[in-house]
Amino acid sequence: MKKPAILVARAVFPEVLTQLEQHFEVAANQGDTLWTPAELIERLQGKQGAFTTGSERIDAALLAACPELKICANMAVGYNNFDLAAMTDAGVKASNTPDVLTETTADFGFALLMATARRMAESEHFLRAGRWKSWRYDLFAGAEVHGSTLGILGMGRIGQGIAKRGAHGFGMKVIYHNRSRLDAATEVLCGASYVSKADLLKQADHLMLVLPYSPEAQHAIGATELAQMKPTATLVNIARGGIVDDAALAQALKNRVIAAAGLDVFEGEPALHPDLLTVPNVVLTPHIASATLPTRRAMAQLAADNLVGFLLHGKALTPLN
Ligand code: GLV
């Protein structure tokens, strides 16, 4: 029997590709070329499955041009590159990679919080530039982390992982805001209390964004919200670009409306708002929150398993529709 044809849209672990080749006719992109939407459509012709990452936009126009497509398996937990309603309408299955990246991403969120609060990037640049001449009582004095108030916006699996680290590891008071409140037992497990968004902004010493992107979340943190935060506060975004108004944030950092920010995701990434590169009080990382090799392997494996599960056995492991 003829094997189903799939496209692996970006470079992937060679061993995952070898596995996929056992089940499918695979068109790969190990050169990791970034295709235009038109090139992606061209490469998808005759393919029943696609292994995608957050970089490939799957929308109604693409679906209409690729009538044989049956499933897109995203190697990411976020799926704002998918027009899920259009995929459902077109009868195309969508899947993501939840759970396997939760703890690694929570680790990174905490690392970025620590680096931001304790001014690690700024002080390292100072040192590398040969500007360190002597110890000084207030040299790169940052914000306290232990015992401070950690605010979490978005309390899914990753938010809960960060809450546990803060409450149980660093003795922080943890407050959160989410579309829906957690049940009491989960709140106790996370050491977290539910507050309104206004109280979260007002009370947090460190505000961590972990909510999924949706059109309603666009600029959930803009000039108005930043003005409600403490001038000593730090903001960390490991969620998605667009949730923060990066232009407003750069302005707020420059004017010390808040003390510092740590950003792993950006509006229009990999492009950055140019003002973010000129303010010293921001730690910038290139969308690497889930990037450890074991976790990235687990994500790739789950995306591959979704393709095998759906195209060969009619059932994706972690479907979105
Ligand atoms: C990364 O941003 C992901 O959604 O997995």
* CA dihedral sign of residues 285, 288, 289, 293: negative
Residue 231 in this model has a pLDDT that exceeds 90: yes
pLDDT of residue 237: 98
Ligand 1 atom with minimal separation from the 101 CA: 5
Domain 5-100+293-313 and domain 102-284 have a common topology: yes
Question: If we measure between CA atoms, which residue out of 212, 170, 206, 227 comes closest to residue 74?
Answer: 212
Ligand 1 atom with minimal separation from the 75 CA: 5
Q: Spell out the domain ranges in the chain.
A: 5-100+293-313, 102-284
Q: Whose CA is nearest to atom 5 of ligand 1?
A: 76
CA distance 191 to 113: 18
Buried b (16+ CB within 10 A) or exposed e, 239-270: bbbbbbbbbbbbbbbeeebbbbbbbbbbbebe
Helix (H, G, I), strand (E, B) or coil at 97: coil
* CA dihedral sign of residues 260, 264, 267, 268: positive
CATH number for the 5-100+293-313 domain, one of 3.40.50.450, 3.40.50.720, 3.40.50.360, 3.40.30.10? 3.40.50.720
Partnered with residue 209 across adjacent β-strands are 153, 237
Q: Give 217's DSSP letter.
A: G
pLDDT of residue 295: 98
Q: How far is the CA of 255 from the centre of ligand 1 (A)?
A: 31
Q: How far is the CA of 76 from the centre of ligand 1 (A)?
A: 4
Helices (H) and strands (E) in the chain — how many of each? 12, 12
Ligand 1 binding site (Cβ under 6 Å of any ligand atom):
54, 76-78, 101, 290
Percent of the chain with pLDDT over 70: 100
Which overall architecture, per CATH, does domain 102-284 show?
Answer: 3-Layer(aba) Sandwich (3.40)
Q: How far is the CA of 215 from the centre of ligand 1 (A)?
A: 17
Catalytically annotated residues: 240, 269, 287
Lookup: tokens for 321:
């529709």
| Per-residue pLDDT reduced to its tens digit, 296-305 | 999 999 999 9
Residue 1 in this model has a pLDDT that exceeds 90: no
Residue 93 in this model has a pLDDT that exceeds 90: yes
pLDDT band at 36 (very low <50, low <70, confident <90, very high): very high
